[in-house]
Amino acid sequence: MHDRPFRISIIDYLNSAPLNYGFKRGLGFEHFHLKFQVPSVCAEHLRSGEVDAGLISSIEFLRIPNLQIVPGLCIASPKRVRSVVILSKVPPEDIQSLALDNSSRSSVVLGQILLRERYGANPTTHDMGPNLEQMLETHDAALVIGDPAMRAKKEGLIVMDLAEEWHTWTGLPFVFALWMVRDGAPAVPVSGGVAPFFHKSLEMGRQNLTAIIEEAWHSIGWTKLELREYLTENISYHLGEAERKSLSLFFEKAVRHGFAPESRELAFL
C-alpha cells in the first residue's frame, strides 16, 4: 500500500516566507503535500487532522492536544516587529472597544494581555476581517497582523507595536509562531525523519532573501531596504533559550487570563 503524503499547512505572510521557501520550491516534494492558509485556518486544520504540520500561532500549543514543536525554529521578534500592531484613535489606557484581526491567534491574546496588565484597559472585542477603515469606524482601536498591518495607513493613529511592548515589559523576545507536528503524522522515510526538512527549507529561504524581498516589494510598498531589515532584524527564526523562557511566561499569562485551558511543558519532536 502507498503511504499517504505528509500534509503541511503553509502561511503566505512575508514573515513566514523564509521558513516556507524550500517547501514552496519543491523540497521533499515526493513526501509532502502543501496547503496554503491563514494562521487561524492553519490551526483549525491541524486540530482536525486535515494537515500533519503547520506554522501555527504559539498559543495553539496549549489549545490543541498532542502537538510537538520542531526544535530550533520559530517566528519571533527580538524587539520591534512592525507587522503586529494595535492602531488606536485614543491612548492605550482609554481603549474601550477593540477590533481583532480574525486571521490571528497569538497576537490577539498578546494584545489583550498587554492592554489589561500594562494599561489597565479591558476593552470589549470583536473579530473582524483585517480592513482597518471598517475596524476603526466602529471601534477605538484595531489589532492587525501580517501584510495588512504592514500596508496599513498609520497617520493620525497611535501605534502600539506588540513585540516592542512585550520586550519593554519583560526584556524578552516574543514568539508568534512555531512549526508544530501532530501525533499520528506519517513517518517520512529518511534518516532523521521530518525535522531536518524544516531547517533545510529555512536555509534555502535565507540563501534567497533577495528573491523574497523582490517579490514582496511589489505587493507591500515598503522599500527593499526596509523589507530586508524586517526579515533580518525585526523577525528572528531561532528558537533558543530566551524564546523558550518567553513562551513559558506568555503561556502562564494566557492561562491566567482565560485564553487557554492550562499551561504545559514545551514538547519537541
Q: pLDDT of 122-137, one tens digit each?
A: 999 999 999 999 999 9
pLDDT computed for residue 154 by the predictor: 94
**Percent residues over pLDDT 90 in the chain:** 90
pLDDT computed for residue 38 by the predictor: 80
Q: CATH number of the domain at 6-76+174-256, please?
A: 3.40.190.10
Banded model confidence at residue 142, pLDDT cuts 50, 70, 90: very high
Cα distances (Å, whole numbers) of residue 131 to 96, 115, 144? 19, 21, 9
pTM here is 0.95
The CATH superfamily label for domain 84-170 reads: Periplasmic binding protein-like II (3.40.190.10)
pLDDT computed for residue 2 by the predictor: 46
Task: Pull the grid cell for residue 145.
Answer: 497582523
- The mean per-residue pLDDT over the stretch 141-162 comes to 95
State the CB neighbour count (10 A cutoff) for residue 121: 21
Strand 174-182 to 141-145 pairing: unpaired
- The mean per-residue pLDDT over the stretch 248-257 comes to 98
Give span(s): CATH 3.40.190.10, the chain: 6-76+174-256, 84-170
- The mean per-residue pLDDT over the stretch 59-69 comes to 96
Range from 36-40, 189-193, 234-238 that averages highest in pLDDT: 234-238
- φ/ψ region of 72 (left if φ > 0, alpha if ψ in -120 to 50, else beta) reads left
